[in-house]
Chain A
Amino acid sequence: GIQVEQSPPDLILQEGANSTLRCNFSDSVNNLQWFHQNPWGQLINLFYIPSGTKQNGRLSATTVATERYSLLYISSSQTTDSGVYFCAVNYGQNFVFGPGTRLSVLP
């Protein structure tokens, strides 16, 4: 089956800093999504991004499908950005999650 890796596994930032999260996948995929899981466990969809670049406020994402990776950029981080960030890929009829990046933003 497909392997989905995320890096770094853990990240600690000072409020206001920028960061880049990476997702690598081992095979061609139909689609890719980035999620933020807040401290209450809710999975919030950030981007549906099978290819190209999208931006939403302080967040942006880029997927290079031919090279099998995606990047999530967080600029001017805030404490409310804390939580776990997952990428998930559509592989055939399955939707496979990576292990996540745990982000802590300190005030």
Chain B
Amino acid sequence: EAGVAQSPRYKIIEKRQSVAFWCNPISGHATLYWYQQILGQGPKLLIQFQNNGVVDDSQLPKDRFSAERLKGVDSTLKIQPAKLEDSAVYLCASSLEGNGYTFGSGTRLTVV
């Protein structure tokens, strides 16, 4: 089966600019996650979707981050405006209930 697809792989932006990341989960996986991984740390959950509904967004900085999952398939994560501390790898994962998680290759964001 095809894996979790993410784009772009790399992005460099200036602070205060906006940026968007895209994720296409494994076909049939109802649950989709966005994680933020800062260098040297483990991934931290930003938001979890079940189909097109939000299950958990308690750690999403909602003043600048937003995410949507239209039609319960693809998802986009947006940052507006970006700050220097947003520099990280943004990972998307999907899962099927009762099975493990599969992660995409991630998007490495550098804010300068």
Contact = CB atoms under 8 A, between A and B. Distances in A.
A86 B45 CA distance: 14
Given A41-B108, A43-B91, A99-B41, A93 B102 contact: no
Interface residues of A, number: 19
- Judged by DSSP, the binding face of B is strand
11 contacts: A41-B89, A42-B103, A42-B106, A43-B43, A43-B93, A45-B100, A48-B100, A88-B42, A95-B45, A96-B45, A99-B42
Interface of B: 33, 37, 41-45, 48, 55-56, 89, 91, 93, 99-103, 105-106, 108
Interface of A: 31, 33, 35, 40-43, 45, 48, 86, 88, 93-100
